[in-house]
Amino acid sequence: MPDGAAHVEDGPLRRLLDDQRLVVRESFEHGEEHGLTAAERVLVSRAVPTRRREFAAGRRAARAALLELGAPATSILSGPRGEPAWPASVVGSITHCVGYVGVTVARRGDVRAVGIDAEPDLRLPDGVLETIASPAERSMVVALSADGRAVAWDRLVFCVKEVVFKIWYPLALSWLDFGDAEVVVDPDRGTFRASLLRPSHELAALCLPAVLRGRWSRERGVLVAAAWIEARARSGEAA
């Protein structure tokens, strides 16, 4: 990824997704707006320059990841909710925020679903936590904030819930509210678990585990979280 968007070989996302079945590309710079196909340019034709640059960085990284995976690397368009439309044989996820872009892809036969998200390590605006978090999650944020570690725990809860949605939506093709997942963060191990608060019959129909487990990291002012489900993991908890 040229123009200042050099791929980081040992970045936080690579360490979180330490499995050869998952191809990771990430950078702490977006670079310039280039490398989009004509069809992709249409998707951001009315966007502001900052949005076009981050979109281009994500698509460049995604194409590089697909090539590394040995999959077709043509136009990566968007679905109804803005999600990337991957080749039929691929699952993947893209994330970007100010100063970071990350992508992971895998073969559908190896990985059933994957979700990644990156957020600035800054507290959420006033009032937002109350709209996305349960009382238990808010109490957790208060407790974690009291230990003196300079991590935006409320933002991390938001970040993890975005990861959960990115796993849920491609499988269910339906919305998942913030209240439909309850997050518990382990500050020492850099892990989390997210309970899906949906009817058991719905989870069974989707072959989704009731609890997703993942990992999170903080680097260069960015929070990154990730979780994935192996293709063979059909019930119980995610691998």
Average pLDDT over the chain, rounded to an integer: 93
Which tokens go with 150? 């300079």
Q: Is the pLDDT of residue 1 over 60?
A: no
Domain spans, the chain: 12-111, 122-221
Which tokens go with 196? 């899906």
**Considering the domain 12-111, what is its CATH architecture?**
Alpha-Beta Complex (3.90)
Q: Tell me, what's the pLDDT at 2? A: 41
Distance of CA 126 to the CA centre of its chain: 24
Which residues, in sequence order, are bridge partners of residue 225? 117, 216
| CA nearest to 111, candidates 170, 56, 176, 185 | 170
Q: Tell me, what's the pLDDT at 9? A: 85
Q: Tens digits of per-residue pLDDT, 32-82?
A: 999 999 999 999 999 999 999 999 999 999 999 999 999 999 999 999 888
Question: pTM, whole model, 2 decimals?
Answer: 0.93
